[in-house]
Structure 1
Amino acid sequence: MKTNNVLILLLSGTLLTLVLSGSVFAQKIKKQPPNIVFILSDDHSAPFLGCYGYPDIKTPNIDKLAQEGILYRKAYTTAPQCVLSRAGLMSGRNTLAIQMTRFSAPLDADVVSYPELLRKTGYYTGILGRNFHLDGNRRVPETVAVLEKYDLETFKNRVDYLKITANRDSIFNQYTEFLDQVPKGKPFFVQVGYSDPHRIFNAKSFEPDPSKIKIPSLWPDTKLLREDFAAYLGEIQRLDSDVGRVLDDLKKRGLDKNTLVVFMGDNGGALLRGKGTLYNQGLNVPLIMRHPDLIKAGQTSDALITGEDIAPTLLSVSGTQIPKNMTGIALTPSFQQPSFEGHDHIFAVRGAHGQNLPHNTADFDLGRTVFSKKYKLIYNAMWQLPYHPVDFDAQPFWLELRQKHIEGKLDEKFDKLLFADRRKMFELYDEENDPEEFKNLSGDPKFEELEHQLKTQLQEWMILNRDYLPLPIAP
């Protein structure tokens, strides 16, 4: 009986702490709504920052941001592609629910984005820098004609400030211009988008020595691959210097004390088994948040997070009501509570990529995944077709690997991963013991029940979201 009483007291104390911390959080927000700066890198897989433990990269500005805030290790995007992923970030909903699985599609006017909601509650809002990708694609004249005929480009009506540029100096100039235009006394939200580390890699002066960097064990170690990867790391080191400029300017203006700074990648890097795939390197991205007053400094969280969580988190921080149709959850409890677990499991989508006709699985591939911290199930609807890389199929390192495959000179484990004539319809991975997703456990009798459970979860999600793919469990 005494043990039970002690347990009840402990649970009551924990509950009281949560209630009080939530109350204090709400009071702080009500007294002075925080500004929000959302910095978004492009094609950035999570391991490749100093603060994430990668040893051969120098990212002091982003590392400092992590030291002063919270770093999330298990943050995943809703898709391994920019348009689909960014739609999830903006809406707090999955890409199927909002019909954003193709690149040419603009975000429908009926789908509310969180900057619109911030604007309604008094925020001055802006989007600048790298193309935000949600107003449709203007590369094809016939597509542009449709966008203009039906007035489908809506973001000019969703925010107060909207400008696009890929130039680094111009991004900073847009950022300072935006801050100069914020009305006195108003809180602000701004999304600052960067092109780094998206290909083409051209940050030559920032590149580390290719011979001295650590190559992930899921890649074959060749001289050309090392050179390509060093160029990718150079892009990230250049990005870090640009992030430093933004943070320094924020501090000079005296705005850093009441500004939530969020740093995130839009999807994984254009690397082997990265961008365009449902593997970890395609979905797992860096996510860091800092606010001196709201977030306990120096935290590392292993909460399971999806891109859908960003919108409700930023709304919660601002004191704005979260719409019921947002399927993400607010991450604000993690700001002070290390025990915050996030989701039990999350989902992601692989849809069409870019504007090309379907010549290979880089252009057109369809897949779904469901995963927890322990296990991941991947459903390859187009399993009959081999893997084809996104954005680097003409790079020397890939051409060399392909030639080694043709000549039978590529290590068997890499040959099977990269050049199999057909993929498996289902892939099942033990994320704790095999985080690089080498060993496919699908079909193993020992994991039959687990595989069926994950397929059942995926089936439910696909039905509820009116997915157009065949369901993973056949009659």
Structure 2
Amino acid sequence: MRPLPSPALLVLLVLLAISARLQAQVSAADRPNIVWIMSEDNSKHYLRLFDPAGAATPQIEKLAQSGVVFDRAFSNAPVCSVARTTLITSCYGPRIGTQFHRRSKLAAMPEGLQMFPAYLRAAGYYTTNNSKKDYNAIEGAEVWDASSGKASWRNRPSDETPFFHVQTFGMSHESSLHFGAAKMQSEATQHDPDAVQLAPYFPDTPTFRYTHARYLDRMQTIDTSVGQLIAKLEADGVLEDTFVFYFGDHGGVLPRSKGYVYESGLHVPLVVRIPKNFKSLSAFAAGSRTAGFVEFVDFGPTVLSLAGVEVPEGVDGKPFLGKSITAAEVNARDETLGYADRFDEKYDFVRSLRVGPFKYIRNYEAFQPDGLQNNYRYRMLAYQDWRTRYHAGELNDMQSQFFRSKPVEALYDIENDPHETRNLAADPQHRETLLRLRGRLQQRMKAMPDLSLFPESELVQQAMDNPVAFGQQQQPRISRLLDTVDACLLPAPQAVDTLRTALDSTDPLQRMWALVACSSMGTDAAALAEIAKRLHTDDPHRLTRVRAAQFLAILGRLDPAPTIYRELASTNSEVEALEILNVAVFCRDALPSPQTIDADRLRFSFKVSPKSEVQRRVEYLQR
């Protein structure tokens, strides 16, 4: 039998235990908690705190009284999975292969890099997510201690453990506006539909007014939930140790917002409550506002900075709060990048760059209208109402633009034209600004490099196991491809000469992008039609053949249907089939002389899943 410890030794052991506990408490007190509260699908325009026409949100406004309002906060992408992947990786989607919504294949994380909560866990934080993820990259097992509808900071191993908690509220999701016509008659809104302020590009109809009023109601529901979560933090005695971020997970959600790089799709509300016990980590006083630009790639590094965790190399963002961050430096930030690629079954390729008050948008497939069919989007009565009135000839030019071809490039003065309706790209007074922003975007896309210069079908086959390494290897080629598709920005005679050379390239993607540029130019590139006729039958690259047929259809010189039937039947790639079907829907719906696409003649060499994007396109073409 072992001898009992002496009274002196017992006292020493107790003192050591108390000392260790006190040291743990001091260590915890040195590290704040961080909570993210996200509301789905809402731009800043629906909150009175950011826009006079928005809803009153007293709980979020109360957060602002104890924190800082970021008047220029931006998602980098206007749709859930791409935006959320940008948040969790702190990397631009087109650089790491996560730019498509819904992903066809998960992208591997960049070598040596983890999703940022993993670094918090390694530093002793308890990390929880409740509960939406929607990532386009492989997550890894180290990211969350808990991720479910029951995940909470309250489940951490001890009160001394610092925590990072993410809470998503879905009451403002796009689906909240998927109601039938009967509901407009039977369910009144709290906000008066006659009093809402519609965007000038919308038709002023009862459907749009009711939809807008209903969404303002949803924002007040969000506000109530924010207040309830704050009350829990306060009840637990941790509110003054916790940075609370409230923000939208991207813009939305009335038509021409979610899925589009306009301010309505990218400009999000952001409020950060600064806890009294850690106010030294904020360069901003309680109740202040800043116009400095912050974007989603910055959010992860900011959390790491607040936690005292080193920001890893290889991310694209930089902190806007933390010990070494000054207000002057944040206030001086004035640039944000936006990207929109595939949204469900609808393909597009758009990049935006806002610098100060000016916004530059490059539409790489300008011939394709914003309003091209997306089945989920058109569940909303407002979308249906808008399109019906367009086809009935009831809209003015501004309201009709959504269903017409886009400008190849656009320049907007956001301060004087917040709804982005007056394109200044051809204005001689703004020529210098146009060239500066155009050049800056080209520089950034080449430096990434931007993987969307490769079709998604080829990325899935070649790149997704290591997209960053693939991009670095292909950087010179991507630069050439960008120069090729940007040839349509040149004066027409020079553009035709440049594209003629590109159409003779040994690189199939250079030929393909030259044809896309021709399609954007339309009749200005008609001199290249004979080359396109040869390529649409003889080119060895399937998507180049399809793009040649599309260009000829735009010129009115070819029925594209036989090419579409042939190429769909011969591909064994479901992703490539979806790319071809996008051309089919464009040719049926958006050409000046719409083409007949017989859904009964569509054949596939693979079994089409009933829930796939390909099936969505087939169902639409069958209507």
The offset of 1:322, in angstroms, is: 0.8
Contact 1:373-1:432 at 8 Å conserved across structures = no
The offset of 1:60, in angstroms, is: 1.3
- What secondary structure is seen at the aligned counterpart in 2 of 1:197? coil
The structure that has the greater radius of gyration is 2
* 1:243 to 2:218 alignment: no
Q: Aligned pair in 2 of structure 1 residues 55, 345: CA closer, same or farther (>3 Å)?
A: closer
Contact 2:319-2:325 at 8 Å conserved across structures = no
Q: What's the counterpart of residue 156 of structure 2? A: 181
1:265-310 deviation digits (Å, cap 9, x = unpaired): 1111122221111110010001110123324211111001111110
Q: Percent identity?
A: 27
Contact 1:441-1:447 at 8 Å conserved across structures = yes
1:242-284 deviation digits (Å, cap 9, x = unpaired): 1111110100011101100001111111222211111100100
Q: Matched residues in 1 for 2:298 and 2:120: separation?
A: 16
1:325 partner letter: G
* 1:378 to 2:368 alignment: no
The offset of 1:56, in angstroms, is: 5.1
1:440 to 413, 423, 430: 423
Contact 1:49-1:63 at 8 Å conserved across structures = no
Q: Matched residues in 2 for 1:320 and 1:403: separation?
A: 54
Q: What's the counterpart of residue 86 of structure 2? A: 88
Contact 2:200-2:399 at 8 Å conserved across structures = no
1:315 partner letter: L
Mapping of residues 445-456 of structure 1, within 5 Å: 445-456=428-439
1:191-227 deviation digits (Å, cap 9, x = unpaired): 1112131122279687422223232344332111011
1:109-135 deviation digits (Å, cap 9, x = unpaired): 444111011111110111113x21016
1:146-204 deviation digits (Å, cap 9, x = unpaired): xxxxxx5x3543211111x5xxxxxxxx25x4413343311000111121311222796
- What secondary structure is seen at the aligned counterpart in 2 of 1:225? helix
Q: What's the counterpart of residue 122 of structure 2? A: 120
1:471 to 477, 482, 488: 482
Q: Matched residues in 2 for 1:376 and 1:50: separation?
A: 24
Q: Aligned pair in 2 of structure 1 residues 437, 182: CA closer, same or farther (>3 Å)?
A: farther
Tell me the matched-pair count.
412
Contact 2:126-2:153 at 8 Å conserved across structures = no
Q: Matched residues in 1 for 2:58 and 2:204: separation?
A: 27
Q: Matched residues in 1 for 2:166 and 2:366: separation?
A: 37
* 1:287 to 2:233 alignment: no
CA RMSD of aligned residues (A): 2.5
Q: Matched residues in 1 for 2:146 and 2:293: separation?
A: 33
The offset of 1:96, in angstroms, is: 1.7
The offset of 1:368, in angstroms, is: 0.8
1:120 partner letter: A
Mapping of residues 314-329 of structure 1, within 5 Å: 314-329=303-318
1:368-410 deviation digits (Å, cap 9, x = unpaired): 1111122111111111111127643233333222222222221
Q: What's the counterpart of residue 536 of structure 2? A: none
Mapping of residues 329-348 of structure 1, within 5 Å: 329-332=318-321, 337=327, 340-348=330-338
Mapping of residues 123-142 of structure 1, within 5 Å: 123-129=125-131, 131-134=132-135
1:353 partner letter: F
1:26-82 deviation digits (Å, cap 9, x = unpaired): xx9995200011111111101211211334523111111112111111111111111
* 1:58 to 2:56 alignment: yes
Contact 1:197-1:269 at 8 Å conserved across structures = no
Structure 2 gap ranges (5+): 1-25, 180-186, 454-480, 488-497, 499-623
Q: Matched residues in 2 for 1:217 and 1:404: separation?
A: 15
Q: Matched residues in 2 for 1:395 and 1:158: separation?
A: 36
1:6-35 deviation digits (Å, cap 9, x = unpaired): xxxxxxxxxxxxxxxxxxxxxx99952000
- What secondary structure is seen at the aligned counterpart in 2 of 1:241? helix
* 1:258 to 2:241 alignment: yes
Q: Aligned pair in 2 of structure 1 residues 238, 124: CA closer, same or farther (>3 Å)?
A: same
* 1:197 to 2:172 alignment: yes
Q: Aligned pair in 2 of structure 1 residues 192, 91: CA closer, same or farther (>3 Å)?
A: same
- What secondary structure is seen at the aligned counterpart in 2 of 1:370? strand
The offset of 1:431, in angstroms, is: 1.9
Contact 1:61-1:240 at 8 Å conserved across structures = yes
Q: Aligned pair in 2 of structure 1 residues 67, 335: CA closer, same or farther (>3 Å)?
A: farther
Q: Matched residues in 1 for 2:357 and 2:48: separation?
A: 25
Q: Aligned pair in 2 of structure 1 residues 343, 394: CA closer, same or farther (>3 Å)?
A: same
Greater RCO (Cα-Cα under 8 Å, separation 6 or more)? 1
Higher mean alpha-carbon deviation, 28-37 vs 342-351, is at 28-37
Contact 2:91-2:316 at 8 Å conserved across structures = yes
The offset of 1:419, in angstroms, is: 2.1
Q: What's the counterpart of residue 395 of structure 1? A: 380
Q: Matched residues in 2 for 1:317 and 1:206: separation?
A: 41
Contact 2:28-2:161 at 8 Å conserved across structures = no
Contact 1:132-1:193 at 8 Å conserved across structures = no
2:166 partner letter: Q
The offset of 1:239, in angstroms, is: 1.2
Q: Aligned pair in 2 of structure 1 residues 222, 408: CA closer, same or farther (>3 Å)?
A: same
Q: Matched residues in 1 for 2:305 and 2:205: separation?
A: 47
Contact 1:305-1:342 at 8 Å conserved across structures = no
* 1:34 to 2:17 alignment: no
- What secondary structure is seen at the aligned counterpart in 2 of 1:427? strand
Higher mean alpha-carbon deviation, 297-306 vs 396-405, is at 396-405
Q: What's the counterpart of residue 225 of structure 1? A: 208
- What secondary structure is seen at the aligned counterpart in 2 of 1:51? coil
Contact 1:135-1:155 at 8 Å conserved across structures = no
Mapping of residues 5-44 of structure 1, within 5 Å: 32-44=30-42
Q: What's the counterpart of residue 609 of structure 2? A: none
Q: Matched residues in 1 for 2:360 and 2:46: separation?
A: 25
TM-score (norm 2): 0.62
Contact 2:369-2:406 at 8 Å conserved across structures = yes
Contact 2:306-2:321 at 8 Å conserved across structures = yes
Q: Matched residues in 1 for 2:164 and 2:445: separation?
A: 33
Q: What's the counterpart of residue 271 of structure 1? A: 254
2:339 to 315, 326, 349: 349
Q: Matched residues in 2 for 1:404 and 1:374: separation?
A: 33
Q: Matched residues in 2 for 1:434 and 1:185: separation?
A: 50
- What secondary structure is seen at the aligned counterpart in 2 of 1:50? coil
Structure in which a larger fraction of residues adopt helix = 2
Q: Matched residues in 2 for 1:445 and 1:190: separation?
A: 50
The offset of 1:463, in angstroms, is: 0.9
Q: Aligned pair in 2 of structure 1 residues 300, 426: CA closer, same or farther (>3 Å)?
A: same
- What secondary structure is seen at the aligned counterpart in 1 of 2:245? strand
Mapping of residues 300-311 of structure 1, within 5 Å: 300-311=289-300
Structure 1 gap ranges (5+): 1-27, 137-151, 166-173, 357-362
Mapping of residues 349-368 of structure 1, within 5 Å: 349-354=339-344, 356=345, 363-368=346-351
TM-score (norm 1): 0.81
The offset of 1:230, in angstroms, is: 1.5
Q: What's the counterpart of residue 157 of structure 1? A: 142
